[in-house]
Amino acid sequence: MVAGAALAALLLPRSCVVCERLLDRNERDLVCGRCWARLPLLAAPRCDRCGHSTYGEACRWCALLPAYVRAARSVCWAAGEIGLGIVHALKYQGWYRVAPEMAVRMSRLAWPVDVVEERAAVVPVPLSAKRERQRGFNQSLQLCDGLAQRWNVPIWADALMRVRHTETQTRLTPGDRLRNVSGAFSSRPSARKMLRGAHVVVVDDVVTTAATLNACAAALCDGGARIVSFVTFGRAPAVGDRW
C-alpha cells in the first residue's frame, strides 16, 4: 500500500488548484500552504455587525442589510489571484473537495455572542435545477457540510427553494441584481415548523451586494424565522475598499 502510494505520487504528482505549484509530500489540501498564507483577509478594524473592514470610518456595508439580518461575516476579499482563484476552483472548475478547506476558515470567524448562542442551523443558497445539473453540485451545500460539522448544528437544506431560474449575477449592476433575484426564493411549507422563531445562518461562496442573500433572508423570515445571519468565504470589494 505504501509503495503504491509512493509510485502514484511519483507518476501523478499533485499540484495546487490555484497556483499549480507542485504540492509538498506532507501537504494534503488541494490549495497549497503558500496560497492559504497569501489569502487577502478582510482587514481589521471590522464592523461588529457586517464584518466589513471600516478603516476607522463609519461602516457603509451595513446599509445593504435589512433589519432582520443580525450579522454577516466573510473570510477574505474575493479578489486577486488567490481570493478569486479558490472560489473559481470550487465554483467553475469542479474542485468540490476544496469546500471543506474553505469551510475550516469560515468556521473560525468571530461572531457576536448572541449569534454563536442562537444559531440553530445553516441553510445553503439553493441553485436552480438547471444550474445544479450544469455544475454537478451546489457549492453552498458543500460549504454547509463543513460548517455544520465544526459548529455542531444541522443543515436545513430543504428550508429554501428557488422558485425560478435566474441569470448569473456576475455581470449585473447592483440594481439589476436586486431585480434578478426578487421573488426568486421561497421557504418550503414543510420547513415552516422548524423555522418558527429560529436564528439561521445562510451560507454562500461569495457576497457582492448581498442581493441574493437578502432575498433568501426575506423568504426565510416569511417562513417563520426570527432572524438571519450570513456567512460567505469571499466578499467582493467595492469602490473605496482597500484589499
28-42 per-position pLDDT tens digit: 899 999 999 999 999
**Mean per-residue pLDDT of the chain:** 88
The pLDDT of residue 167: 54
Strands (E) across the chain are located at: 69-77, 119-124, 160-162, 185-187, 199-207, 227-235
* Inside any domain, residue 168: yes
204 & 231 share domain? yes
Residue 103 and residue 29 in contact, taking contact as beta carbons nearer than 8 Å: no
Residue 196 DSSP class:
T
Q: What CATH number does the domain containing 143 carry?
A: 3.40.50
Say whether pLDDT at 241 is over 60: yes
Is residue 221 included in any domain, yes or no? yes
Question: Would residue 242 count as lying in a domain?
Answer: no
Q: Are residues 115 and 157 in the same domain?
A: yes
State the pTM of this model: 0.88
Cα→Cα distances 236→205, 222, 241, 242, Å: 11, 28, 9, 11
Residues 72, 188 share a domain:
yes
For β-strands 199-207 and 227-235, DSSP reports them as parallel
Q: Are strands 185-187 and 160-162 parallel, antiparallel or unpaired?
A: antiparallel
Question: Residues 106, 5: one domain?
Answer: no
In a domain, 154, yes or no: yes
DSSP label at 159? S
Q: Is residue 240 part of a domain?
A: no
Percent of the chain with pLDDT over 70: 86
| Residue 2 scores a pLDDT above 50 | no
Same domain, 168 and 194: yes
Establish if 243 belongs to a structural domain: no
Count: domains in the chain = 2
Q: Are residues 22 and 65 in the same domain?
A: no
pLDDT one-digit tens code per residue, 141-189: 999 999 999 999 999 999 999 877 565 655 555 555 555 666 678 899 9
3-class state of residue 177 by DSSP: helix
Give the whole-number percent of the chain exceeding pLDDT 90: 70
Q: Same domain, yes or no, for 33 and 122? A: no
Q: Does 99 share its domain with 199?
A: yes
- Is 81 part of a structural domain of the chain? yes
Which range of residues forms the domain containing residue 2?
1-38
